[in-house]
Amino acid sequence: MTTLNTDYYPKIIRDFFLYDNSASDGTAHRPVTLPFTYNTQQLLAEAEQLPYDDRLVNRCYVWGPEGKQDPGCDIITSTDKNYTAQIDLTSYPNIKSFIDDANTLGPITYLTFKRMKPRGYIMPHTDSECNPYKIYVPLSWPEGSLFKMFGQGNIDFTDLKPNLINTSDVIHSVVNDSDEYRIIFSFYADWSYEGWQKVING
């Protein structure tokens, strides 16, 4: 049972975290190990300087289909084959290095950074039009941050370890019940490539 600390959240959010006492069976989310090195603190320092938009959860679209506006995710019906940076990465060498290393495993099809303000939240939902699986990489996870999947428990991001998450099929919600910003990035890839198969199959 998770009781949120404040009254800032709609009842559906409070109930979602309070009454679903489930635990993960590994089908909806699990930690993964990326076969290259990166420095979380250096990535966080660059992420803090990105040109975020003004949505409730600030976003910065960094990588995706060539010649298109932000599709919001890796759309499941997409026929795109070419992907490129969506911002100038010259000032973000660690982010560029992460993307370059990840692309050696198979194409990254969409990558975005998200910054959630203190007491921010995302309503329970599914990403039904998107590639079912994405990898989340937390860069900061203040005490009070929670990512819950219905029937599959909370995702433990306290160690800042990446997780493979099925956001298309499983209802999920996120809160930042803290006084600090929470910053993560997530990406989709062509999971059929051998390099990514080794990652997602452990």
Which pLDDT belongs to residue 38?
A: 98
Would 15 be classed as within a structural domain? no
Confidence class for position 7, pLDDT limits 50, 70, 90: confident
pLDDT in tens, 161-186: 999 999 999 999 999 999 999 999 99
Q: How far, in Å, CA of 149 to CA of 17, rounded? A: 9
> pTM of the predicted model, to two decimals?
0.95
Would 4 be classed as within a structural domain? no
Would 159 be classed as within a structural domain? yes
Asked whether the beta carbons of 160 and 139 are under 8 A apart, the reply is yes
Q: How far, in Å, CA of 135 to CA of 180, rounded? A: 23
Taking residues 83-110, report their average pLDDT.
98
Checking if the pLDDT of 1 tops 70, the result is no
Q: How many domains does the chain have?
A: 1
Which pLDDT belongs to residue 5?
A: 72
Would 101 be classed as within a structural domain? yes
Q: What's CA 123's distance to the chain center, in Å?
A: 15
Confidence class for position 79, pLDDT limits 50, 70, 90: very high
Confidence class for position 83, pLDDT limits 50, 70, 90: very high
pLDDT in tens, 53-76: 999 999 999 999 999 899 999 999
Confidence class for position 189, pLDDT limits 50, 70, 90: very high
Tokens representing 184 are 């993560």
Would 186 be classed as within a structural domain? yes
Would 19 be classed as within a structural domain? no
Checking if the pLDDT of 202 tops 90, the result is no
Asked whether the beta carbons of 94 and 43 are under 8 A apart, the reply is yes
Would 5 be classed as within a structural domain? no
Checking if the pLDDT of 133 tops 60, the result is yes
Find the domain containing 34 and state its range. Answer: 26-200
Residue 62: CATH number of its domain: 2.60.120.590
% of the chain surpassing 70 pLDDT: 100
Taking residues 88-98, report their average pLDDT.
98
Checking if the pLDDT of 108 tops 60, the result is yes
Which pLDDT belongs to residue 8?
A: 87
30 backbone φψ class: left, alpha, beta (φ>0; ψ -120 to 50)? beta
Helices 40-47 and 93-103, packing angle to 10 deg: 120
| DSSP symbol at 169 | T
